Amino acid sequence: MLMQGHRLAAQQTTVKGKVSDGEGNTLVGVSVSVKGTSIATMTDSKGLFSLQVGQSTATLRFTYVGYKAQEVPLNGRNNIEVTLVSESTALDEIVVIGYGAVAKSDLTGAVSSVKADDLTKGVNVNMQQSLQGRTTGVQIYQKSGEPGAAMSVQIRGITSITGNNAPLYVIDGMPVNDAAAIGSASVAGTTNNPNNRTPLNALNPADIASIEILKDASATAIYGSRGANGVVLITTKKGKEGKITVSYDASVGQQQVAKTQRYMTGEEYTSAINGIIEEGQLNTSVYQPVEGTNDNTDWQDLLLRDAPIQSHDVAISGGNNLTKYHISAGYFDQEGVMLNSATTRYNARINLETGEANKYNVGFSLATAYIKDHYNANGTGLNDNASALYMAQNYDPTAPPYNTDGSYHRSSLMSPMDNPLAVINGQYSLGDTYRTFGNLYAEYFILPSLSAKARVGTDINIGQRNFWVDPSTLAGASFNGYADARDGKRAYYLLEGTLNYNKSFGEHSISAVVGSTYERYTSSSLVANSRDFALPDLTYYGIGTGDASLNGVNNGAQENRLLSYLGRVNYSYAGKYLFTGSLRADGSARFGPEHRFGYFPSVAVAWKAKQEDFLQNVSFLDDLKLRASYGVTGNQPNVNYLYYSTYASGKTAVFDGEKVSTIAPTRNANAYLQWESAHQFDVGLDFALFASRISGSIDYYNRKTSNLLYDVPQPLSTGFSARTENVGSMRNTGMEFSVNGTVVDHQDFKLDAGFNITTLKNQILSLGSVDQFIGSGPGNIGQYSILKPGESMGSFYGYVVDGVWQEGDDFSLAQSGVRPGDLKYRDLDNNKVINADDRVILGKSLPDFYYGFNANLRYKKLALSIFFEGAKGAKMLNSSLVDSYYAVDFRRNKLAELYLNRWTAANPSNEYPSFIPGDVQGSKMVTSKTVEDASYLRLQSVRLSYQLPLPEHFFIRSASVFVNGQNLYTFTNYSGVDPAVNAIGDDILRVDYNSYPLTRTFTAGVNIQF
Amino acid sequence: MNSYDFYQILKMTIKMKKISPYISLLILVGCLTSCSKVLDVVPNSEFSPDNALTTEAGIKALLFSAYAEQQTQTNSRFVINDSEMSTDMAFNSAGAENAQLIHIINFTWDPSLGTFQGDVWAPNYRCIRDANGVVENIDGVDASDEVKKQFLAEARVLRAQAYAILYNFFGPVPLRISTEQTGDLVRSTDEEIRNFIESEFVAAIPDLPDPGQEEAFGRFNKGNATGILAKFYLNTKQWQKAANACKTVIDFNYYSTTQYAFKDLFKVENKGINNKEMLLVLPCRNEEGYGNWFMAGAIPAGFKSTPQLPEFVYQASMANFATQYRLRTAFVNSMDENDQRRALICTSYVNSNNVTVNILNDDNARSFKYWDNATVGNNSGNDVPVLRYADILLSRAEALNELSGPTEEAFALINQVRKRAGLADLTTTNTITQDDFRAAIFRERGWEFISEGKRREDLIRQGTFLSLAIARGVSAGLATTDKLLFPIPQSEIDANKLCVQNSGYN
């Protein structure tokens, strides 16, 4: 009644006006309301509005996505022009999410977005390297210094025990098949490198415009069964309307070995070995002393070199108001710092798009790459099956590399190891990878608010790898040359149809998508090998010239399919309250007919608190948004056909001396196998302070994976070792915090800094009926890890060393036969025998937290950027320590630190044992001495660049030159080659097994735009 | 679903621009739903059981898988070493293998030792799995009754042999006789498993061919199957049955001790069906995956040649492991100077610096039983004997002695073996009592079967397995009667909740 009366009494006034942004563009759809009333309207397509207001003294309120809300008192005016100010550049960004895009300010989920400018610059072989340490929730480490080496990428910890733990990569809307066309192989008993080179090397990092990391379930659930490990959305560069631009980026540099482990020199070795023989009064027919000439060979050094690296990228882009294009070509070439390893990549890409707003949109994105990989004898393995670096570390340093006739020198006491140089020169392979991926899409707007979109995509990855084991090596001599040729093909096909709906009415805004997809994955392989070559000169190119009766051939073909339905609704009310709900149903051919479909829902809400009246006047606060989400994502097994009982080729029998093929059950099938599901809760807060000079986010996540896919150990008495089942559960929890600030913002001088940190706690909650599972490591490491409820994934399991037995200790507490100078293990059950019952958990390979820090300093045209990254709390097993503490052979070379400071009667060390053979306690391999803390802080990159001053209207629009250093210094207590390497294929446990050393790289280059 | 469908949808969607968007949604979703049978994917490189196990070729291939699982060529060295380094015969140092063998030597082995699982338990149970598959499916196979009877007999003998090996290492084990018996299963009683092994052999042997009549060397015949049964009887001290079974083998008059000199018995060129000493072997080839790796461990460090075995020409391409398979000095010294079996024992060699190294002492002698000049890397082609005719002769002699003391036949049997070794006959004048004869039998068995993995079971039968260990310096607290059985592998105990560990290993 009062209102009514008031209004009647008031004088009606019509106010007209225009809303634009700071650059003179009119703004369409700006919400205009009279403060304190429900009277509201929106600007039209010309940015104009007209509104009946009660009083000419009223205040109008203007709100618009991505812009600061503004209140304008009319003060009697009836025609006003309003300029809205962009909220902040960061919140203005459009962020790609699965099957769509939203303004960053409207995100409801935990999504990290990294633009190309914020990726680590330098020469990066793949996008993962440039993303390392740049954002919260994503742990990336380079597993070795091998060119093109595999990266470990984990988003918010470990999800699965035996399922996949790598995120899903989606390039320009198409999920990519992130599996190598040809897996790792050990040919002719030579070393095997379980780390495949990253298939993502086929994507040129220079083509990337932005990377979005979807972390919480609200963001990932739209990818359903492949979302559990997070999703990495990669958007490549598109053309822009305007004049053609041509850019050329080049960098050329040199790589050095960052660190090697120090082994004994010839003199040190002679003195240590002979000293131990004397100290232990050893029988010299069993333990032969070092005699003869000393060549002081540094075997590691012979395998290593400084190596060049370079990259060149050319891109042409442009377009008109309808059609836009971006065409690029790239060349990348990296030689390894170990002999005979290299990678070379040639890339080309075309992104083409044509369309008219709200009418249609057609385009394609197509990339192709050829990668040539040279592989040397790098990998895991023991003795003669080991890598060249293993042999170099272990080989007699008094022996010469070559005989006087130029042939490789072999020290008979080093058998069965070969001369390391023979191995690095004579055991190698060449890989050719041809990968083409891309997709075509067409979007048609049935109504301005409703469009239908279809997408067809493919990813074809064809590889060939040729191995050669030369007769100049011991392994090659035993076969008289061994060649192995492998063809592998992985293909992926996508069909996708979606309907998109976007509509705002009043304070309500809805955007929705529904669709379905069909995806097909195929793989096939063909392997042929041959040996005994009359003339080995042709190496693997002469595979047909071996002894045909010894030829081997094999092949395989597999297929998987996914059929999915998806839907998502984003709803916002008054620009303050945001809601997202999504559902995906995935059917996978990897499960039996009854269990194929899994359903993956999610919900998220966000509250843009800053938009509330009560925060409007808090001037230091520019933005405040609270988010919460919950959802379910899935994971399917890595392996096909697990539900299917079949027979396949079994162990070959021998009768009458001839080989006879057999068949045996393929697997212990599980018809009930189903989806692993991850339930994730996330709550987060985004903020911006002090005129957005400081902005950041805080998130808490809690992800419980249940129905874990786990190769449950079966009683071996069933004839099967394991069966993939859905048992048990685990939880990952943690906090993510990131902050970016502009410390100084002056026209000539600007300093930005950013910091991010992620904590991680993983805990196995249950393993079903299994109490614990103890796993074995590579080489001769034996049992080294444990899965146990209550503990973290990646737990090392072994013995505690309390010191060294000293003269005068109470030996009645030890196993009979233990001597002063032997290691003193902790005898947990006091039974005077150190055995499997005395093992404890020695730590875990997952860090407690990881972090990154960057600072960008600009003075006029000179810019300096510095970037650190690190991790704390992870442990690593160092196999070089294992080989020195528990030497495979007495006469092998060992780590200098251990042997030069060993226990002797005169030097009663409590740190290192006497190394006199015959410790009755045996080789324990995995101890508190060999499992080391691998925490580190690394100065990952420093870059100095200079923007060249150019005359106006010069044919070169801009040009800059830079120098760059990567992996410059590492602060760590870890004694091995690097605290972040991992030589085993597993990304859960970490083992430094004679790892290919990491490199320190210096490059210089130019960026030119025409 | 194909691209044509998609084209149609696009076309229709464009045409229907005026129609409610919900219709196009329905078409999109509906089309894909109708295609959900696209998720039926058949593995192209695997056999369906329905087809594979109903043909003669298919069931034979499965039977051969059971054989193949028994043919543990490469890992045979671990079984040999487990059975000899726990005794007065052999010793080991250095190398990766020493990590396990040191526990075998010191009597500190525990259930986590990988060899029990990897070299004995798992392969024998895989053999049992596939033999069970043959037994279950043989009725439905499209083949002649004769073939089916023979395959069934071979499968049953393979399975019974596997159980006999497991029983020898671990005592009674879970008795799985059907592929349907998955999951947890209790250990059988001692009586059950002994009855099972015996009755399976007895039932199956009549359907096997006579010795030499088998389709290929390496498959079961009446001779080798009866011999394996004889050894089972002997190890379970069923003396009369053991004696009888050995007699059955001898009476085939097929096997012989006079064909080759002892030192030539194991040569690659003498292997195969024509070698009348070998009843059953693990057939090896000098090829990765099928090789006998024993020599690579037996060759001493820096080995170049030995004057004791000049025929053996060592080449750099032959592997010489870091680990050292050694023979104990006292054991080698117990052999007669003239024992021709010494020809395959290396006690002195010339190293790569042309220095002669004497290795008789310090338990550092080497068994060169499996030397092969065609060795490729680790892989020698010498078959590993599972059962030799000398074993049949000595087993009957042992059984007869246990039944009625050293009879004339018992002397004849042992002397048949000694003769080939170039040793004088034993007689009632030097081997007077039953105990004397028993001691002579076990000494003879030791010398005869070096590096053939028989020593542990022999000493256990003789009752000296523990006392000899204590005599070597193993503490009495470690050499307990519990050690007469090896522990059930920890992986089985963890996965099979009904399986109870052997006494002393918890």
Higher pLDDT, B302 or B484: B484
- Does the distance separating the beta carbons of B96 and A382 come in below 8 Å? yes
User: Average per-residue pLDDT in chain A?
Assistant: 89
Residue B294 has pLDDT above 70, yes or no: yes
Helix (H) or strand (E) holding A635: strand A621-635
pLDDT-derived band at A22 (thresholds 50, 70, 90) equals low
pLDDT at A2: 39
Tens digit of each residue's pLDDT (9 = 90 or more) over A234-270: 889 988 888 888 999 999 999 999 999 999 999 999 9
**Rounded Cα gap, residues B341 and B364, in angstroms:** 17
> Residue A434, Cα to own-chain centre: how many angstroms?
22
pLDDT at A123: 66
Residue A131 has pLDDT above 60, yes or no: yes
pLDDT at B20: 44
Q: Which region, left, alpha or beta, applies to residue A594 given φ > 0 means left and ψ of -120 to 50 means alpha?
A: alpha
- Does the distance separating the beta carbons of A499 and B28 come in below 8 Å? yes
A52–B contact, CB cutoff 8 A = no
**Rounded Cα gap, residues A907 and A893, in angstroms:** 21
Rounded percentage of chain A residues whose pLDDT exceeds 90:
51
Rounded percentage of chain B residues whose pLDDT exceeds 70:
93
Rounded percentage of chain A residues whose pLDDT exceeds 70:
97
pLDDT at A424: 96
Mean pLDDT of A931-939: 96
Residue B327 has pLDDT above 80, yes or no: yes
pLDDT-derived band at B16 (thresholds 50, 70, 90) equals very low
> Residue B468, Cα to own-chain centre: how many angstroms?
25
Tens digit of each residue's pLDDT (9 = 90 or more) over B88-107: 999 999 888 998 999 999 99
pLDDT-derived band at A593 (thresholds 50, 70, 90) equals confident
Task: Map residue A929 onto helix, strand or coil.
Answer: coil
Distant-in-sequence, close-in-space partners of A55: CB < 8 Å, separation ≥ 6: A10, A11, A13
Tens digit of each residue's pLDDT (9 = 90 or more) over A866-890: 999 999 999 999 999 999 999 999 9
What residues of chain A, 603 to 642, have a C-beta less than 8 Å from chain B? 640-641
- Which of A653, A713, A769 is closest, CB to CB, to B491? A713
- Which of A450, A479, A656 is closest, CB to CB, to B273? A656
Distant-in-sequence, close-in-space partners of B389: CB < 8 Å, separation ≥ 6: B249, B255, B256, B257, B276, B277, B278, B279
- Does the distance separating the beta carbons of B496 and A715 come in below 8 Å? yes
Among A212-221, A284-293, A305-314, the minimum mean pLDDT is found in A212-221
The helix-helix angle for B190-204 and B145-170 (nearest 10°) equals 150
Determine the distance in angstroms separating the CA of A201 from the nearest CA of chain B, rounded to an integer.
30
- Does the distance separating the beta carbons of B73 and A719 come in below 8 Å? no
Residue B3 has pLDDT above 50, yes or no: no
DSSP state of A648: E
- Does the distance separating the beta carbons of A925 and B99 come in below 8 Å? yes
**Rounded Cα gap, residues A389 and A394, in angstroms:** 8
Tens digit of each residue's pLDDT (9 = 90 or more) over A45-103: 788 898 888 777 888 888 876 677 788 888 888 888 888 876 554 445 777 788 888 77
The residue of chain A with its CA nearest to that of B321 is A416
Tens digit of each residue's pLDDT (9 = 90 or more) over A889-911: 999 999 999 999 999 999 999 99
Write out the two tokens for A839: 């093992």
Tens digit of each residue's pLDDT (9 = 90 or more) over A820-862: 999 999 999 998 889 889 999 999 999 999 999 999 999 988 9
DSSP state of A832: S
User: Average per-residue pLDDT in chain B?
Assistant: 92
Tens digit of each residue's pLDDT (9 = 90 or more) over B189-234: 999 999 999 999 999 999 999 999 999 999 999 999 999 999 999 9
- Does the distance separating the beta carbons of B64 and A780 come in below 8 Å? no
Q: Which residues does chain B have within 8 Å of residue A447's beta carbon, measured at their own beta carbons?
A: 21
Residue A619 has pLDDT above 70, yes or no: yes
Task: Map residue A846 onto helix, strand or coil.
Answer: coil
Helix (H) or strand (E) holding A978: none
Give me the phi and psi of A976, to 5 degrees please.
-80, -165
Residue A35 has pLDDT above 90, yes or no: no
Residue A732 pairs in a beta bridge with A703, A762
pLDDT-derived band at A319 (thresholds 50, 70, 90) equals confident
**Rounded Cα gap, residues A979 and A875, in angstroms:** 9
- Write down all domains in chain A, each with its CATH number in brackets: 2-86 (2.60.40.1120), 111-258+304-637+673-777+941-1009 (2.40.170.20), 642-672 (no CATH)
Write out the two tokens for A616: 């409007």
What residues of chain B, 213 to 242, have a C-beta less than 8 Å from chain A? 215-219
Determine the distance in angstroms separating the CA of A72 from the nearest CA of chain B, rounded to an integer.
41
pLDDT at A975: 95
Listing DSSP states for A605-624 in one string gives: EEE-GGGSHHHHT-TTEEEE
Residue B461 has pLDDT above 80, yes or no: yes
**Rounded Cα gap, residues A371 and A347, in angstroms:** 9
Determine the distance in angstroms separating the CA of A693 from the nearest CA of chain B, rounded to an integer.
45
- Does the distance separating the beta carbons of B296 and A416 come in below 8 Å? yes
Residue A432 has pLDDT above 90, yes or no: yes
Higher pLDDT, A472 or A69: A472
Three-state DSSP string of A111-139: EEEEEHHHCCCCCCCCHHHHHCCCCCCEE
What is the identity of the amino acid at A180? A
Determine the distance in angstroms separating the CA of A670 from the nearest CA of chain B, rounded to an integer.
12
B48–A contact, CB cutoff 8 A = yes
- Does the distance separating the beta carbons of A478 and B218 come in below 8 Å? no
B122–A contact, CB cutoff 8 A = yes
| Widest CA span in chain A | 117
B21–A contact, CB cutoff 8 A = yes
- Does the distance separating the beta carbons of A383 and B28 come in below 8 Å? no
pLDDT at B5: 47
- Does the distance separating the beta carbons of A664 and B49 come in below 8 Å? no
- Does the distance separating the beta carbons of B302 and A412 come in below 8 Å? yes
pLDDT-derived band at B4 (thresholds 50, 70, 90) equals very low
pLDDT-derived band at B34 (thresholds 50, 70, 90) equals low
Total count of residues recorded for chain A: 1010
- Does the distance separating the beta carbons of B65 and A663 come in below 8 Å? yes
A698–B contact, CB cutoff 8 A = no
**Rounded Cα gap, residues A1006 and A379, in angstroms:** 36
Determine the distance in angstroms separating the CA of B191 from the nearest CA of chain A, rounded to an integer.
19
Distant-in-sequence, close-in-space partners of A56: CB < 8 Å, separation ≥ 6: A11, A13, A15, A74, A75, A76, A77, A78
pLDDT at B32: 53
**Rounded Cα gap, residues A183 and A527, in angstroms:** 12
Residue A406 pairs in a beta bridge with none
Tens digit of each residue's pLDDT (9 = 90 or more) over B153-190: 999 999 999 999 999 999 999 999 999 988 899 999 99
The alpha carbons of chain B give a radius of gyration, in whole angstroms, of 28
Rounded percentage of chain B residues whose pLDDT exceeds 90:
83
Listing DSSP states for A905-955 in one string gives: SSS--SSS----S--TT----SBTTTEEE--EEEEEEEEEEEEPP--TT-S
Mean pLDDT of B396-404: 97
Write out the two tokens for A477: 């001599």
pLDDT at B331: 98
- Which of A452, A769, A783 is closest, CB to CB, to B24? A452
What residues of chain A, 758 to 777, have a C-beta less than 8 Å from chain B? 769-774, 776
A810–B contact, CB cutoff 8 A = no
Mean pLDDT of A655-668: 94
